[in-house]
Amino acid sequence: MAASSLFSLKGKVAVIIGSASGIGEAVAMACGRYGAEVHCLDANGPGAEESAKRIRSEGVTAHWECLDIRDAEAVHHSFDRIVVCSGQIDIVVCTPSVNVRKSILAYTTDEFDRVVSVNLKGSFYVLQAAGRHMTARGSGNIILFSSIRSQVVEPGQSVYAATKAGIVQMVRTAAAEFGPSGVRVNAVAPGVVETPLTSPIKADQDWYDAYASKSILGRWAEAEEMVGPVLFLASEAASYVTGTVLFADGGWTAVDGRFQPPGV
């Protein structure tokens, strides 16, 4: 099979959650360019509408909808409407996350609930709604977003890290449960990416530089650099890949320390 066919999404219906900005926006645009009909979903309705308009301007069918993934009923209703509208759902990518960087002793109950509600509960609701339709149809694939924080942490990352580790285990379990029905489930785990979520870090030059120096490549990622990993997992090129976590972290989790011993 030609490489162009392996990565083609022609004839597919892709639902991209978090498509108003950052990684989700970049992924939504790329899915359209690779031939998919795209549904742009985001809690930021105007942002999702703008992404859909940009996709349509390139001659691709695109729709938009305001969706808060913390609302389980709304998530299920949204997926039901998409199936009525487009007849099927082939690809689901869920990118939204929030983080409250505080020590464990300083965390409030409301902050804990906020992070867990978006990152873990929201991802679960999406996984459940997508899985219900895809297993019934006998095909499809779901891509959730984890993080390097599922593996390595620093002070102030307790709840965020816990949710990202939880996503990994949800993905593995869903892959085991949905796989017999022909549905693949995977996760992408970025390192530091320039998105609205990381804007507080970018505003602090010392913090920004420290994160840049931690990766092997010595820099942050652009949101567009997450497109390749997602398109791979969404396409037939990854037809035998399920239950896995693809780290797109510039080598962050591969290295232990930055000192180069003499003579190396």
**CATH code assigned at 244:** 3.40.50.720
Decide if 165 is inside a domain: yes
Q: Is residue 202 part of a domain?
A: no
Q: Is residue 62 part of a domain?
A: yes
Asked if residue 91 is part of any domain, the answer here is yes
How confident is the model over 191-221, as pLDDT tens digits?
Answer: 999 987 788 888 889 989 988 988 999 999 9
pLDDT of residue 258: 64
CA 42 to chain centre: 13
Q: Cα angle vertex 123, ends 47, 237, to 5°?
A: 85
What is the three-class DSSP state of 190?
strand
57 lies in which domain range? 9-195+222-248
Let me know: does 196 contact 141? Beta carbons within 8 Å.
Answer: no
- Does the annotation count 160 as an active-site position? yes
Terminal Cα-to-Cα distance of the chain (whole angstroms):
42
Identify whether 31 is part of a domain. Answer: yes
Query: What stretches of the chain show up as alpha helix (H) in DSSP?
Result: 3-6, 22-33, 45-56, 72-86, 109-116, 123-137, 158-178, 199-202, 205-214, 227-234
Helix (H, G, I), strand (E, B) or coil at 245: strand
> Using the 8-state DSSP alphabet, how is residue 122 labeled?
I
| pTM: predicted TM-score of the whole model, two decimal places | 0.94
Q: What is the pLDDT of residues 61-75, one digit of tens each?
A: 999 999 999 999 999
Percent of the chain at pLDDT > 90 equals 86
If one counts the domains in the chain, the total is 1
Alpha-carbon distance values, 79 to 101, 107, 210 (Å): 32, 34, 41
Predicted local distance difference test score (pLDDT) of residue 3 = 63
More confident residue, 36 or 258: 36
- Among 160, 208, 211, 240, the active-site one is 160
